[in-house]
């Protein structure tokens, strides 16, 4: 991390952090049936954990960072349905995202899931990073960032890349 309040993450570091998150969940001995990833930030995390644990992956789309190029949080929008390939969900699910920034998204999701899917008996959450400003405490996280830096993840360059630019 630099003194500018920004954390720059390489692909190698990003994947290693997901591995460390998987180890933390594994070491907890908690058994779960499905993984729900929060799209978009949790897609890569969910995919990697789904492969490591050999558990079905469901996707819940959300959107809140829509203003000023995705840097200012707006109203949280949560998809009405999950996308999944398994016939059923749960009853014990691990909800994954890349980070707990304010914690608002994870808090809403953790409250809404049992209301939407009453058969769920246990919902736990896992993220790579928990920021100091987060009001939500994930069950599992790899790094605590007390100064709440802006995290520059390795895939962010695609936010401003358009097809015609790929030829360069």
* 127 Cβ neighbours under 8 A, 6+ residues apart: 21, 42, 45, 96, 97, 98, 99, 100, 106, 138, 140, 141, 142
Phi/psi of residue 118, each to 5°? -60, -20
Tell me the fold of 9-145: Rossmann fold (3.40.50)
At 100 the pLDDT is 96
- Using pLDDT thresholds of 50, 70 and 90, give the confidence band for residue 65: low
Mean pLDDT in residue range 82-107 = 92
- Using pLDDT thresholds of 50, 70 and 90, give the confidence band for residue 57: very high
Residue 9, SS3 per DSSP:
coil
- Domain residue ranges in the chain: 9-145
Residue 126, SS3 per DSSP:
strand
User: How many angstroms separate the CA atoms of 73 and 60, rounded?
Assistant: 18
At 167 the pLDDT is 83
Over residues 102-124, the pLDDT tens digits come to 999 999 999 999 999 999 999 99
């Amino acid at each position: 991390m630099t003194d500018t309040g920004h954390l720059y993450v390489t692909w190698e570091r990003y994947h290693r952090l997901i591995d460390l998150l998987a180890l933390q969940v594994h070491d907890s001995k908690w058994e779960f049936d499905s993984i729900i990833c929060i799209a978009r930030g949790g897609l890569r995390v969910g995919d990697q954990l789904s492969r490591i644990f050999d558990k079905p992956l469901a996707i819940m789309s959300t959107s809140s960072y829509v203003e000023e190029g995705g840097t200012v949080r707006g109203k949280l929008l949560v998809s009405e349905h999950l996308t999944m390939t398994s016939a059923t969900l749960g009853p014990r699910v691990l909800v994954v995202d890349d980070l707990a920034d304010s914690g608002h998204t994870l808090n809403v999701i953790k409250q809404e899931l049992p209301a939407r899917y009453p058969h769920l008996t246990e919902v736990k959450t896992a993220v790579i990073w928990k920021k100091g400003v987060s009001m939500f405490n994930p069950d599992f996280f790899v790094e605590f960032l007390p100064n709440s830096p802006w995290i520059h993840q390795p895939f962010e360059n695609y936010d401003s890349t358009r097809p015609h630019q790929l030829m360069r």
